[in-house]
Amino acid sequence: MRIDPHTHSVCSDGTDSPAELMARAAGSGIDVVGLTDHDTMAGWDEAASAVPVTGVTLLRGTEISCAADGITLHLLSYLHRGDDQALSEAFAHARTSRDTRAQRMVERLSEDYPITWEDVIVQSSGAHTIGRPHIADALVAAGSFPDRDAAFAGPLATGSPYYVIHWALDPVEACRLVRAAGGVPVAAHPRASSRQRRLVPDAVLAEMAEAGLAALEMNHRDQTPEQREQVRVLARRLGLGLSGASDYHGAGKPNRLGENLMPPELLERIVDEGVLDLVTP
C-alpha cells in the first residue's frame, strides 16, 4: 500500500485544486493521500468528493504552524474533528496573523521590488492560508525572479531583512489541542536544517511526546541521510513512530507525489486513534 500522507493544494500554498491533487495521486499509483494544507481544513470536502471518482483514499489532515521561542516547527494533525472550536480558532488566528505578516513583508519588499499587495492577492486567489510562496509567485510574475526557489534563496529567506514572523501555536500546546480534538499529531520534517538555521531542540520534541505526539517525519527530501538518522534515533528514544512523505506542493516545488511514504502500520495506528475515518472509495 502506497501512502503519501503530507501534501498541499491551492487552499494553502500548493498549485493543484484538491480534486486535481486526488487525480494526480491516482495517476502516480498512490493508494492513500493525506491532504494537509497549512492551518486550514478548507480542502477536505472537495478532496472527499474526488474519492469515488479517483479511487484514491483520503486521509484528512492539517499542517499546523507552530513556534517555540521563535523557532518554527510544523505539526501535522490527522483525523481531528473538523468543527473543533479550539483548533478552528487557533487556525483562524494563525491565518489572520499570516495575512498581516505577508502585508508587512510586501511593504518592505515594495521599497526594492516592483510588487504590491494586490499582486499577492491575485497569486493567492482561492487560498485560505497565505504564505511566502504566494509572495514568491508575485515576485516571479513581476519578473524579479525565475521561480519560487530563487525568491526563497533571496529576499524571502528566513534570515532576510524583508522577513517578518507571524503568530503560531506553541508546539506542546498544539499536541494537546490536537488530541483534545480527537486528532493524531505527527511532527513534520523536524530536522530539516535547510529550511531555517535554528531547529527546535530535542527537549521540546520530548515534551511534545508527553503531550501526545505519535510520530516524527523521517523520510522527507529536506532532511539529509544524517538528519534522517538523527530523527530515527530520537524517535526510538522517545517511543515515537516514523513517517515519510512527499510534502507535494504542485508546480511550486520539485517534490513529487509518492517520493516518500508512510509505513502502513503507522496509518493503522492513526486510524485507530483518530476520531474521523479515512474517506474510502
Binding site for ligand AMP (CB under 6 A): 13, 131-133, 148-149, 152, 249, 252-253
- CB 36 to Zn ion: min, Å: 6
Give me the residue whose beta carbon is nearest to ligand AMP.
131
Hey, which bits of the chain come out as E strands?
Answer: 3-7, 32-35, 57-68, 71-78, 184-188, 215-219, 241-244
Considering CB distances under 5 to 8 angstroms, the limit depending on partner class, which of ligand AMP, Fe ion, Zn ion, none binds residue 60? Answer: none
177 CA to centre of own chain:
17
Considering CB distances under 5 to 8 angstroms, the limit depending on partner class, which of Fe ion, Zn ion, ligand AMP, none binds residue 244? Answer: none
48 CA to centre of own chain:
19
50: phi then psi, degrees, rounded to nearest 5: -85, -10
Residue 39 interacting with Fe ion (CB under 5 A): no
Which residue lies nearer to ligand AMP by CB, 196 or 280?
Answer: 196
Distance between CA atoms of 193 and 197, rounded to whole angstroms?
6
Q: Which of 60, 74, 132, 228 binds Fe ion (CB under 5 A)?
A: 74
Residue 188 interacting with Fe ion (CB under 5 A): yes
**Quick check: 249 and 20 in contact, CB under 8 A?**
no
Which residue lies nearer to Zn ion by CB, 109 or 220?
Answer: 220
Residue 106 interacting with Fe ion (CB under 5 A): no
| Cell numbers for 209 | 511526546
Residues forming contacts to Fe ion in the complex (CB under 5 A) are: 13, 74, 188
